[in-house]
Amino acid sequence: MNFVADHQPDFPTWLPENARLYLRHIEEGLSIRALARSEGCHASTILRKVRAYENRRDDPLVDEALNHLGQLHLRQSGTAGTKRPPPLNINWKRLAR
């Protein structure tokens, strides 16, 4: 079993569960499947919940609140300042040959 997926970070108790899932996916970098395993549900359920909060980020107030909560969580968990791996740069034209 994956310890990272089973670890429940400390978020405020008033934060909705869907927002917690979204922040765990975005800030901790947990996969949708890892979150689904830790929640005991199907990956598509987690994906719908995460996408719902992605769509809410269009509202500047929601966006600012999620940014603040994410940064606060990273500072509390001791992972602030750690770098995520860079995105893959794939030359699709070269691969298509």
pLDDT of 4-15, one tens digit each? 444 555 778 888
Q: Is 78 left (phi over 0), alpha (psi -120 to 50) or beta?
A: left
56-62-66 Cα angle (round to 5): 105
Note whether residue 97 is domain-resident: no
Dihedral angle of Cα 51, 25, 32, 37, to the nearest 10 degrees: -130
Domain that holds residue 14: 3-81
Note whether residue 20 is domain-resident: yes
Note whether residue 88 is domain-resident: no
- Position 5 scores a pLDDT of 43
Q: Which residues in the chain land under pLDDT 50? A: 1-6, 80-81, 85
The C-alpha atoms of residue 74 and residue 42 are separated, in whole angstroms, by 27
- Position 6 scores a pLDDT of 47
Give the count of domains, the chain: 1
Note whether residue 53 is domain-resident: yes
Note whether residue 72 is domain-resident: yes
Q: What is the CATH number of the domain that holds 27?
A: 1.10.10
